[in-house]
Amino acid sequence: MYMEKYHGAKITDFTGPPKEEEEQEVQVEIKDTRPPWDIYFARIVDGIAARSTCTRRQIGAIVVNKDHHIVSTGFNGVVRKAPHCSEVGCVKDEKDIASGTGHSICPAVHAEQNALIQAGRAAAGCTLYLNAFPCKICARLIVNAGIERVVISGDYTDKEGLEILKAANIEVTRVSM
């Protein structure tokens, strides 16, 4: 018996030419080995996070519409034309400020904020994928942008953002990879 795997399909046929009175039997078993959408986009978020210039955390975000099309992406880093923390150092490290606090001191724009800015009004009704919990500031922006669902593949010290999403009836899903 000859077996060949082709893109997840198992094709089986018998060796030798079929006899006149017999038909050649072919069995095809197709198995979908693609990751579910949430895992697919969560993996992409990790790649986007690699562009971060933050010396503490690399956070990525993607806004995805109901047709599974990427509307926008974002990663955390300082505002345009400013020197990157990876080049000049982290002001929060210099002042010994804990993660999840000191948002007014940090010059960075969060990944969620960058993704929402890029998406504009197209964010309404979409899903936002993150590799961290959103902080309370980003959670408020997520609510006002009209995001309907947030998928998280990481964590964060500030869990108040999750309470804001819950109060706004935004579906929050956590995935493990």
Contact 95, 66 (CB under 8 A): no
Q: How far apart are CA 50 and CA 65, in angstroms?
A: 23
| Residue 98 buriedness (CB in 10 A; 0-12 / 13-18 / 19+) | exposed
Q: Are 64 and 123 in contact (CB under 8 A)?
A: no
The residue to which tokens 């006899």 are assigned: 19
**112 labelled catalytic:** yes
Residue from 4, 22, 112, 160 carrying the catalytic annotation? 112
Query: In this structure, what is the dihedral angle of CA atoms 34, 39, 44, 47, given to the nearest 10 degrees?
Result: -110
For the annotated catalytic residues, the residue numbers are: 112
